[in-house]
């Protein structure tokens, strides 16, 4: 095979209480990527979108992933990657992870599928390191595995795929940029033991709720006493969006990844669509443009569209 076209989904990292360890893939939005194997060793990055992302491979997350694969396997071949990005960079919807995971997945397919899922995650994390300064796998893992994943450990890589509850996901992306690197820098380095105990209870409750498909347990576990109180100040109208969504019947939700997107889970489509309208109206009132996605959890992750 010389060429592959893939659809790479957006992801919601943290799932409120599981900072750096929980994440889920969603159906909308998604990036389109095409990777070609070259006979010569260059790595060429092309963007068919308007985000102005770097095309220098060492500055693009897809590029650094491919450089690391090339170096590790001492390849004489190179790659050409064309990215049509729909997941806005800095949105908190896993834009950098999509390019990183897509590059690892595409290269693996072009090289005969010799990498394990863990190896793809290993290489994709070089992209996250470029974007945020940290090798975290909570966006990459659900992109590659699909559904909801638990990063039991990122060194050594130990990923536990959980199940996929039949829930709607509503995400609003207000057009303010929050870089993951900045949103990490403001976090406290130490936490109080009483807060850690509460957070452990929420994470355990959420994982059990997902595995047992216990929807009320999922809802009452979606609480974050450590990260959200600090990061939410970076997101205009966060408290109002959350309060109105919960009043409208959301199971729960919070900051998507490092923000500024906010996500909510809902059992019914009508509830999800109502929450979407409420979210948009909050930002319309203060004249901040926003995009709203009503989606579902994506059990498949990256999808192959065409291979030659």
Ligand X SMILES: N[C@@H](CCO)C(=O)O
Ligand Y SMILES: Nc1ncnc2c1ncn2[C@@H]1O[C@H](COP(=O)(O)OP(=O)(O)OP(=O)(O)O)[C@@H](O)[C@H]1O
Between CA 226 and CA 75 the distance in angstroms is: 44
Among 18, 94, 142, 174, binds ligand Y (CB under 6 A): 94
Number of residues that bind ligand Y (CB under 6 A): 24
Task: List, in order, residues 6 or more apart from 294 with CB less than 8 Å away.
Answer: 28, 168, 169, 170, 269, 272, 273, 276
- 132 labelled ligand-binding: no
> x-or-dash pattern for ligand Y, window 245-284, by CB under 6 A?
------------xx--------------------------
One residue of 67, 68, 70, 95 binding ligand Y per CB under 6 A:
95
User: Among residues 68, 91, 108, 132, which is the contact residue for ligand X, using CB under 6 A?
Assistant: 132
9 sits near ligand X (criterion: CB under 6 A): no
E strands present in the chain? 3-13, 22-38, 43-47, 78-84, 148-154, 157-161, 168-174, 252-255, 262-266, 290-296, 303-307
Among 67, 108, 132, 271, contact with ligand Y (rule: CB under 6 A): 132
Does 96 help bind ligand Y (rule: CB under 6 A)?
yes
**Whole-angstrom Cα distance, residue 173 to residue 136?**
22
Q: What is the sign, positive or negative, of the torsion defined by CA atoms of 201, 207, 208, 210?
A: positive
Q: Is 90 annotated as ligand-binding?
A: yes
| CB-CB contact of 164 with 148 (8 Å) | yes
Phi, psi of 290 (to 5 degrees): -145, 150
Q: Decide which of ligand X, ligand Y, none touches 251; Cβ closer than 5 to 8 Å per partner kind.
A: none
* Nearest Cα residue to 93 out of 241, 258, 294: 258
Q: Which does 61 bind (CB under 5 to 8 A by kind): ligand Y, ligand X, none?
A: ligand Y
Which are the catalytic amino acids? 128, 180
- Considering only CA atoms, which of 139, 149, 170 is closest in space to residue 295? 170
Partner whose binding site includes residue 20, from ligand X, ligand Y, none (CB under 5 to 8 Å by kind): ligand X
Using the rule CB under 6 A, is 136 a contact of ligand X?
yes
Summarize as ranges the residues that interact with ligand X (CB under 6 A).
Answer: 13-14, 19-20, 132, 136, 138-139, 180, 183-184, 257-258
Residues in touch with ligand Y (CB under 6 A): 13, 53-54, 60-62, 83, 89-97, 99, 131-132, 139, 179-180, 257-258
Annotated binding site: 88-98
């Amino acid at each position: 095979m010389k060429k592959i076209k893939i659809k790479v989904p957006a992801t919601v990292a943290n799932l409120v209480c599981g900072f750096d360890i929980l994440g889920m893939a969603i159906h909308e939005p998604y990036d389109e990527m095409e990777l070609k194997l070259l006979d010569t060793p260059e790595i060429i990055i092309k963007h068919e979108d308007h985000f102005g992302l770097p095309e220098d491979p060492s500055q693009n997350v897809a590029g650094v992933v491919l450089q690391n694969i090339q170096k590790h396997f001492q390849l004489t071949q190179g790659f050409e990657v064309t990215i049509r990005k729909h997941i806005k960079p800095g949105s908190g919807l896993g834009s950098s992870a999509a390019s990183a995971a897509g590059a690892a997945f595409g290269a693996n397919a072009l090289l005969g599928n010799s990498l394990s899922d863990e190896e793809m995650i290993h290489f994709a994390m070089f992209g996250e390191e470029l974007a945020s300064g940290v090798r975290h796998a909570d966006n990459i893992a659900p992109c590659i595995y699909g559904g909801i994943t638990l990063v039991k450990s990122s060194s050594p890589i130990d990923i536990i795929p959980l199940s996929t509850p039949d829930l709607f996901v509503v995400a609003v992306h207000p057009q303010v940029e929050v870089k993951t690197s900045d949103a990490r820098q403001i976090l406290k380095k130490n936490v109080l033991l009483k807060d850690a105990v509460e957070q452990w209870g929420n994470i355990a409750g959420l994982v059990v709720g997902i595995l047992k498909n216990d929807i009320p347990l999922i809802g009452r576990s979606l609480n974050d006493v450590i990260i959200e109180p600090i990061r939410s100040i970076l997101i205009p109208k966060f408290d109002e969006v959350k309060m109105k969504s919960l009043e409208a019947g959301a199971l729960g939700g919070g900051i998507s990844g490092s923000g500024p997107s906010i996500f909510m889970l809902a059992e019914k489509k009508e509830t999800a669509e109502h929450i979407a309208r409420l979210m948009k109206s909050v930002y319309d009132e203060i004249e901040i443009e926003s995009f709203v996605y009503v989606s579902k959890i994506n059990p498949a992750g990256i999808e192959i569209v065409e291979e030659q």
